């Protein structure tokens, strides 16, 4: 007889990066210290975890984004072959098949995201954080927001070997506006208390558009890493200037100087294109130029580069013209709102209303003012 156990759901927000992206990619932060400014938006990665008791346990995974379904009954099934590798890495770290105390326990993991994979909004890291959050409550672990982010980082970077930084995991775990410092072996999350009128004006003047296609962040970030480790002057100077720009933008935002955001975003975009070859392309450049001509004060691709979503900051009276120019150039405007919360997880029990088991997956609010060694 099949016995159904509790069902857990979790969601982690995607993010937009304003400044500092790239300075969180090793070995730059370990050697020179990195800093990023980002905020989360109301686009999410979702994970549902359901446990059942039935013969021949294992873990079944369904991905709506990739239209894939797979079953992993033994540790030997978790072979990285380009199919659901992120999930396999998470299972290797969090719960390899065959390690359950109940051998007949079968897990079902259902995943989907509000944004296409590889589009620059930190979607893979948000999905990893959502998976960690679901397992956190399934395993009854009292992980902090820092520990959730570091587990997600370990899964992506150490276990799976995907090149990248740390900001995406921390943004998804903590949520809201954050200035995040990467100082050697420590990460410090500084939550920013943005006045409501400033946040509202900022949201009104930003425009997010999908430029088409995805980006190949691994390849681009590998080039950036090589440029830095070889101490190429242009790469090192651009990364240093990007870190200073993140600090400047954070200060202007706290002062409520919204008009400075557009100029600083443009400065950041020009610096970002110096990190490595391939950060931009003719299609993105043409769209950006048309947006600027229509009234955008600045903008940037929000991921590693090469495509995906572009963030534009507009003159308040010309946002509609910018949107039309972007669409005429082949972009697709995506509506969004700012999201103040990070990872959230709740339980759903059969025959009873949903019950919250933590507005955040990571415990107390004291997490947000401290640091963790990595």
Which tokens sit at 186? 């420590």
Q: Where does the pLDDT of residue 143 fall: very low under 50, low under 70, confident under 90, or very high at 90 and above?
A: very high
Parallel, antiparallel or unpaired: strands 186-191 and 177-183: antiparallel
What pTM did the predictor assign? 0.91
Q: How far is CA 81 from the centre of its chain?
A: 23
The Cα–Cα gap between 298 and 322 comes to 11
Asked if the model's pLDDT at residue 309 lies above 50, the reply is yes
Q: Write down the H helix ranges in the chain.
A: 28-32, 85-94, 123-138, 145-153, 167-174, 196-205, 217-229, 233-255, 259-272, 282-294, 319-328
- Residue indicated by tokens 């069902």: 7
Parallel, antiparallel or unpaired: strands 105-113 and 58-63: parallel
Residue with more model confidence, 244 or 277: 244
Give the bridge partners for 310, in sequence order.
209, 301
Task: Express each pLDDT in 208-221 by its tens digit.
Answer: 999 976 655 677 88
The Cα–Cα gap between 348 and 7 comes to 5
Task: Give the residue from 334, 281, 329 showing the smallest Cα distance to 311.
Answer: 334
- Residue indicated by tokens 């190429």: 232
Residue 325: partners with Cβ closer than 8 Å, 6 or more residues away: 290, 291, 293, 294
Per the annotation, the verdict on 259 as an active-site residue is no
Asked if the model's pLDDT at residue 168 lies above 70, the reply is yes
3-state secondary structure 306-343: CCCEEEEEECCCCHHHHHHHHHHCCCEEECCCECCCCC
Task: Express each pLDDT in 93-121 by its tens digit.
Answer: 998 765 655 556 789 999 999 987 778 99
The domain made up of 3-373 has a fold known as Ribosomal Protein S5; domain 2 (3.30.230)
In contact, 28 and 226? CB cutoff 8 Å: no
Q: What number is the average pLDDT over the span 238-253?
A: 97
Which tokens sit at 86? 């992120």
Phi, psi of 44 (to 5 degrees): -130, 155
Asked if the model's pLDDT at residue 4 lies above 80, the reply is no
* Catalytic entry in 168, 222, 234, 367: 168
Cα dist from 194 to 188, 313, 326, 342, whole Å: 18, 18, 29, 16
pLDDT number for residue 213: 67
């Amino acid at each position: 007889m099949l016995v159904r156990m509790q069902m857990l759901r979790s969601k982690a927000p995607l993010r937009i990066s304003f400044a500092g992206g790239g300075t969180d990619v090793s070995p730059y932060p370990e050697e020179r210290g990195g800093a990023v400014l980002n905020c989360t938006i109301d686009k999410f990665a979702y994970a549902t975890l359901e446990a059942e008791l039935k013969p021949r346990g294992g873990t079944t995974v369904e991905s709506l984004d990739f239209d894939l379904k797979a079953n992993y009954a033994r540790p030997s099934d978790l072979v990285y072959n380009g199919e659901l590798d992120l999930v396999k890495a998470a299972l290797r770290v969090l719960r390899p098949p065959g390690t359950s105390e109940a051998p007949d326990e079968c897990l079902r993991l259902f995943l989907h995201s509000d944004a296409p994979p590889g589009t620059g909004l930190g979607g893979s890291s948000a999905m990893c954080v959502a998976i960690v959050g679901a397992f956190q409550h399934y395993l009854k672990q009292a992980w902090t927001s820092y520990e959730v982010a570091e587990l997600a980082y370990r899964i992506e970077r150490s276990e799976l070997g995907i090149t990248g930084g740390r900001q995406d995991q921390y943004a998804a775990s903590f949520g809201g506006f954050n200035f995040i410092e990467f100082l050697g072996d420590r990460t410090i999350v500084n939550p920013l208390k943005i006045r409501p009128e400033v946040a509202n004006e900022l949201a009104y003047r930003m425009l997010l558009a999908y430029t088409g296609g995805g980006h190949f962040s691994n390849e681009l970030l590998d080039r950036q890493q090589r440029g830095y480790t070889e101490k190429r002057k242009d790469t090192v100077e651009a990364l240093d200037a990007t870190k200073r720009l993140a600090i400047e933008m954070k200060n202007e935002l706290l002062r409520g100087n919204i008009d400075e955001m557009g100029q600083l975003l443009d400065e950041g975009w020009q610096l970002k294109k110096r990190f490595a070859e391939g950060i931009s392309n003719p299609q993105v450049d043409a769209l950006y130029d048309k947006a600027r001509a229509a009234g955008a004060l600045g903008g940037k691709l929000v991921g590693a580069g090469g495509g995906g979503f572009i963030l534009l900051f507009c003159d308040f009276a010309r946002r509609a013209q910018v949107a039309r120019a972007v669409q005429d150039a082949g972009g697709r405007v995506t509506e969004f709102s700012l999201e103040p919360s990070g990872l959230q997880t709740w339980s759903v029990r059969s025959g009873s209303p949903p019950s919250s088991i933590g507005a955040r997956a990571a415990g107390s609010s004291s997490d947000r003012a401290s640091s963790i060694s990595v």
